Amino acid sequence: MAEIATFGAGCFWGVEATFQRVPGVIDTAVGYSGGDMPNPTYKDVCTDETGHAEVVQVTFDPAKVSYEQLLDIFWQAHDPTQVNRQGPDFGTQYRTAIFFHSPEQEAAAKKSRAALDASGKFKRPIATEIAQASTFYPAEEYHQKYLQKRGVASCHF
């Protein structure tokens, strides 16, 4: 049975493209989560006033890829020490976040974050928020599979 994972790691286009390439990932969708405004638009979220993060919702087959493997990919896909920014993008909508869907995901995310923090890989502490998944609002259609539609592999600088 498929499961859902939700990650915020900056601009959702590149994060989505990263997860699309993972064997065992069934589907991805970009959108907004973690805020308090119902049905936000991209324009709303960009005001930095809705509380939402740009996120990727990953539907995956746990028999082919584990949640822990997805966490490893998440950590590698961005700088988890940056607060409310990734690269040139800044604001709370670009924060690093894991929105868990079960107690098992919460425990795995916290264990993974603690191990990465203890590893010494980063000079600064991990800033990643770990929070209960709330309503996922899909982004506008033109944002879905954005890089794939344009034949671009990533948007990293």
Instruction: Compute how many other C-beta atoms are within 10 angstroms of the C-beta atom of residue 123.
Output: 6
Domain coordinates in residue numbering, the chain: 3-149
Q: For the segment 6-25, what is each residue's pLDDT rounded down to a tens digit?
A: 999 988 888 898 999 999 99
What is the band of 85 on the pLDDT scale with cuts at 50, 70, 90?
confident
Give the C-alpha separation, 86 to 34, whole Å: 18
pLDDT, one tens digit per residue, over 86-98 is: 888 888 999 999 9
pTM comes to 0.91
CATH classification (class only), 3-149: alpha beta
Number of H helices, E strands in the chain: 5, 8
Options 5, 9, 11, 17, the catalytic residue: 11
Lowest mean pLDDT among 43-47, 86-90, 106-110, 132-136: 86-90
Alpha helix (H) ranges present in 120-153? 146-149
Asked whether the beta carbons of 29 and 144 are under 8 A apart, the reply is: yes
104 CB-contact burial (10 Å; exposed 0-12 / middle 13-18 / buried 19+): exposed
Q: Give, as one character, the DSSP assignment of residue 99.
A: E
Indicate if the pLDDT at residue 147 is higher than 90. no
Largest Cα–Cα separation, the chain: 40
Residue 31 CA to its chain's centroid (Å): 10
- Give the residue-averaged pLDDT of 61-67: 98
Mean pLDDT of the chain: 91
Q: Is 11 a catalytic residue?
A: yes
The token pair at 3 is: 């499961």
Whether 127 and 83 have beta carbons less than 8 Å apart is answered as yes
The span from the CA of 59 to the CA of 133, in Å, is 14
pLDDT, tens digit, 9 for 90 and up, residues 96-129: 999 999 999 999 999 999 999 999 999 999 999 9
Q: Identify the DSSP state of 39.
A: S
